[in-house]
Amino acid sequence: MDQVRNEVEQVFRNVFGDDELVLRDAMTADDVEGWDSLTHINLIIALEKRFGIKFATAEISRMKEPGQNVGHLIASVAAKRR
Amino acid sequence: MKPSETSPRPLADLALDCLGKNGPDWEAAFCAATAAMRAALARGEDQAVADALRRIALPTLDYTSTQALIRLRKKLRGRVPVRQKVRIAVLGSFTTTQLVALLDLFLFAAGIEAEFHEGDYGVFRQEVLDPGSGLYAFKPQVLFLATTRRDLGCGANLALDGNGEAAAIESELRAWAGLWDAVQRNAGCQIIQNNFVAPASRAAANHELALPGSLGRIVAAMNRAFAAAAPTFVTIHDADHLAASWGRWRWDDPRFFHHAKLPCDPEFLVDYAHSVASLVMAQLGLAKKCLVLDLDNTLWGGVIGDDGLDGIRLGQGTPEGEAFVDFQHYAKSLRQRGILLAVCSKNNEATALEVFEKHTEMVLRRADISCFVANWEDKATNLRLIAKTLNIGVDSLVFADDNPAERLIVRRLAPEVAVPELSDDVTSYVRTLEQHRYFQVLSLGAEDLKRTEFYRADAQRRDEQASAGDLDSFLRSLDMTAHVGPITPMSLERSAQLIQRSNQFNLTTRRKSAAELSALLADDAWISRTVSLADRFGDNGLISVLLAHVDGDALEIDTWLMSCRVLRRGVEQFLLNHLVGEAQKRGLRWLRGVYVPTQKNQLVRDHYAGLGFASAGPAGAAGETTWELTLGESWTPRPNFIKETNHGPSAQ
């Protein structure tokens, strides 16, 4: 899980162009500078490529809904990798 | 990762490190390069960052990596010198933000600063049809109509019979042509129009193409209709071929269409943008003109100097030998559509030539090679020599060499030359060359197919020149005849092409599009002239274009350009005499000409002085000089050896 978290963090750093970005579970899109609907797509593409996974159409929208945070995202990546 | 204690490597080296690597090695090199570029940018080293960016912004990058480069490119906007600027409008029926950012990246990598206007999502028809729209206020030089098959008015309709289908296609084509005409009327700019991507799924399964009204059949018919009906000012972008070459099921990713209205799997947006960028570059005259080939292990397997004629691997019998034959066929097909071929090899000339003359399996022959250089000099020097001999820019060359060391030397010492990263397997050469889209054109005219013949006849003429003693008797012996006249619908395409491509003999380098040209032909204040030249070695075709407009009692020359193939033949003098006649017929008393210097047109700096024009004041801010010629009694025609004929050129 820590391995996944580190790799997801690396993907976030690439996508948002911020080498110092540190992920916390409670973070939402509002806490990350530049996380809008455009970069959300870039994030999905980068995660899918890095982990060799695929998100379903509905999942892609769910990630940005209220109540969802980075912790859920990391858990869903880890689950897909299994 | 451990911090480096030695002094950091130059950016240029870090960028070159990315070439020829795959997988994790490439990823590490790319990360190191982009991190160093960000640091250099923070230190204000804009030019070094731009140079590095130009090296690594390749069509083979993955989407996520391009985003890092796009961020760097945005910071460089307006901060480094560029070769050209261009205004591009993009109207689409999908989200074009990502595509435009990538297009901008590839154009920047080619030395172009592009300014974009993006239409609102899905309202391209309104923008095109409303003369007061933002599109026209922007005054684009290029309009990219980024449409998809969802924009087809005639969707699948299985109730149609063959006739009904044909009628539907015709009315669909009329609707698109109506849009093109509106753009032509209101903006007069070049249009790049997507064709339609055939779907992977098929209602009629295997029989899709046999069933009138099926979507697959409608799309195929529309694409054929576009290809056949597009006027000169419309370039059809073959999006369908892009999708097919990547694979139709892979191309479509409906998740991203439904989420973000992206036209395809985002990974393919990179190649998509590169494909469109290559058309813009062709329009700006920046396409490559010559493929320079190494010999040993590039055109055949083995080393001719060591292995001998019998020892090299070429031809039927071995898989590798067959693959080299295929690569030669590919090079020959490029030559046949007007791309020059040259050889640059480390060999004794006689040894290298012997293969071309004696090896029975050679597809390329000596006559296919416009410039043959085999010696022991370094290749960067030889490439400059080749460019000079062929009278083209060093940046018009593509250099194909299997040897990584030679490629590196050329990249360092002749960075203007494009050097694709060939692998050690000949079967990958064609794909590697195709991926870069070096030799893109806006349209293929009959002239392109003849061009290489022209260059060869040219070499023959040069031999003649050597034996003819003095220049005058040589020129007289050529029996030159020229046809001069206004640009006609028949010559419009070739004229527009010369305007886009000519760099050296080009007084003002004003890149008017075919659309702008046709607008100006309808204007009485403008005079257009083209010259076609023939001599006893053959027809040179249409080789010079001149545009001028009446300004008071003067005729001002807006554009004067000529193919360098016919330098020093007296065409300038011939055309001037004709132009003076035209000016006098209109009662004008002056000719005025301008020379606008660029990196490439030094050749014509003294063009007007040489024709007897007087300088009309000091140079302007951009170094441009103005020249005037008084058309009084004392003016006498300039001597030349060209006879005017009334016979227009056969097909052009």
Q: Identify the structural domains of chain B with CATH numbers, from first to last.
A: 1-56 (no CATH), 78-283 (3.40.50.1110), 290-436 (3.40.50.1000), 446-453+462-644 (3.40.630.30)
The encoded tokens of residue B540 equal: 């040179």
Return the percentage of chain B with pLDDT > 90, whole number.
Answer: 75
Distance CA(B256)–CA(B402), nearest Å, equals: 39
- Going by their DSSP bridges, the two strands B642-644 and B526-535 should be labelled as unpaired
How is the beta sheet containing B397-400 ordered, strand by strand?
B371-375, B340-346, B290-293, B397-400
C-beta of residue B478 within 8 angstroms of C-beta of residue B463: no
Residue B459, pLDDT > 70, answer no
- Domain residues of chain A, as ranges? 2-81
Is A60 within 8 Å of B255 when comparing Cβ atoms? yes
Comparing alpha-carbon positions, the chain B residue that sits nearest to A62 is B259
Is B266 within 8 Å of A37 when comparing Cβ atoms? no
The confidence score (pLDDT) of residue B632 equals 84
The confidence score (pLDDT) of residue B600 equals 81
Residues from chain A contacting residue B260 (CB–CB below 8 Å) = 37-38, 41
DSSP state of B197: P
Considering CB atoms only, which of A45, A57, A61 is closest to B63? A45
Could you report the predicted ipTM of this complex, rounded to two decimals?
A: 0.89
B185 vs B564 pLDDT, higher one: B185
pLDDT tens digits, B93-103: 899 999 999 99
The confidence score (pLDDT) of residue B153 equals 84
C-beta of residue B574 within 8 angstroms of C-beta of residue B640: yes
Is B98 within 8 Å of A38 when comparing Cβ atoms? yes
C-beta of residue B76 within 8 angstroms of C-beta of residue B46: yes
Is A45 within 8 Å of B97 when comparing Cβ atoms? no
Q: Nearest-CA distance from A13 to chain B in Å?
A: 10
Residues from chain A contacting residue B256 (CB–CB below 8 Å) = 41
* B487 C-beta neighbours (distance < 10 Å), count: 22
- Name the helix (H) or strand (E) containing B356: helix B349-358
Residues from chain B contacting residue A14 (CB–CB below 8 Å) = 64, 67-68
Q: Label residue B104 by pLDDT band (50, 70, 90).
A: very high
Residue B409, pLDDT > 80, answer yes
Residue B652, pLDDT > 60, answer no
Is A60 within 8 Å of B262 when comparing Cβ atoms? no
Considering CB atoms only, which of B35, B68, B266 is closest to A41? B266
Instruction: Give the count of alpha carbons within 13 A of B172, CB side only.
Output: 23
The encoded tokens of residue A80 equal: 């897909």
Is B256 within 8 Å of A41 when comparing Cβ atoms? yes
Residues from chain B contacting residue A42 (CB–CB below 8 Å) = 63-64, 67, 266
Lowest mean pLDDT among B447-456, B480-489, B614-623: B447-456
Q: Collect all residues from B whose CB is shorter than 8 A from any CB in A.
A: 35, 62-64, 67-68, 71, 97-98, 254-256, 258-260, 262, 266-267
Residues from chain A contacting residue B259 (CB–CB below 8 Å) = 41, 57, 60-61
B448 vs B274 pLDDT, higher one: B274
Is A41 within 8 Å of B62 when comparing Cβ atoms? no
| Architecture of domain A2-81 in this structure | Orthogonal Bundle (1.10)
B93 vs B459 pLDDT, higher one: B93
Considering CB atoms only, which of A17, A38, A55 is closest to B68? A17
Q: Nearest-CA distance from B77 to chain A in Å?
A: 18
Residue ranges in B252-303 assigned as alpha helix (H): 254-260, 269-283
Residue B467, pLDDT > 70, answer no
* Burial per residue of A7-45, b for 16 or more beta-carbon CB atoms within 10 angstroms, e otherwise: bbebbbebbbbeeebebeeebbbeebeebeeebbbbbbb
Is B97 within 8 Å of A38 when comparing Cβ atoms? yes
pLDDT tens digits, B226-242: 999 999 899 999 999 99
> What is the residue type of B349?
E
The confidence score (pLDDT) of residue B3 equals 46
Give chain B's mean pLDDT.
90
Is A42 within 8 Å of B64 when comparing Cβ atoms? yes
Q: Which of the residues A33, A45, A50, A54 would you substitute to probe the B interface, choosing the one with the greatest number of B C-beta atoms within 10 Å?
A: A45
Q: Nearest-CA distance from B623 to chain A in Å?
A: 42
Considering CB atoms only, which of A19, A46, A60 is closest to B64? A46
C-beta of residue B487 within 8 angstroms of C-beta of residue B651: no
Is B64 within 8 Å of A15 when comparing Cβ atoms? yes
Is A15 within 8 Å of B256 when comparing Cβ atoms? no
Distance CA(B393)–CA(B422), nearest Å, equals: 23
Is A60 within 8 Å of B98 when comparing Cβ atoms? no
Residue B216, pLDDT > 90, answer yes
Residues from chain A contacting residue B258 (CB–CB below 8 Å) = 57
B525 vs B459 pLDDT, higher one: B525
The encoded tokens of residue B410 equal: 């050329």
Distance CA(B53)–CA(B232), nearest Å, equals: 34
Considering CB atoms only, which of A14, A37, A41 is closest to B68? A14
Residues from chain B contacting residue A55 (CB–CB below 8 Å) = 255
Q: Nearest-CA distance from B486 to chain A in Å?
A: 51
The encoded tokens of residue B345 equal: 């090899």
The confidence score (pLDDT) of residue B535 equals 83
CA gyration radius, chain A: 11
Alpha-carbon distances of B497 from B287, B289, B446, B650, rounded to whole Å: 12, 13, 12, 18
Return the percentage of chain B with pLDDT > 70, whole number.
Answer: 94
The confidence score (pLDDT) of residue B4 equals 45
pLDDT tens digits, B261-278: 999 999 999 999 999 999
The confidence score (pLDDT) of residue B606 equals 92
The confidence score (pLDDT) of residue B402 equals 95
C-beta of residue A23 within 8 angstroms of C-beta of residue A55: no
Considering CB atoms only, which of A41, A46, A49 is closest to B260? A41
Q: Collect all residues from A whose CB is shorter than 8 A from any CB in B.
A: 14-15, 17, 19, 37-38, 41-42, 45-46, 49, 55-57, 60-61
Residues from chain B contacting residue A41 (CB–CB below 8 Å) = 98, 256, 259-260, 262, 266
Is B68 within 8 Å of A61 when comparing Cβ atoms? no
Can you name the residues that pair with B345 across neighbouring β-strands?
A: B374
State mean pLDDT over B307-323.
Answer: 91
From the DSSP assignment, how many helices (H) and strands (E) are in chain B? 25, 17
Chain centroid to Cα B507, Å, comes to 20
What global pTM score does this model have?
0.75
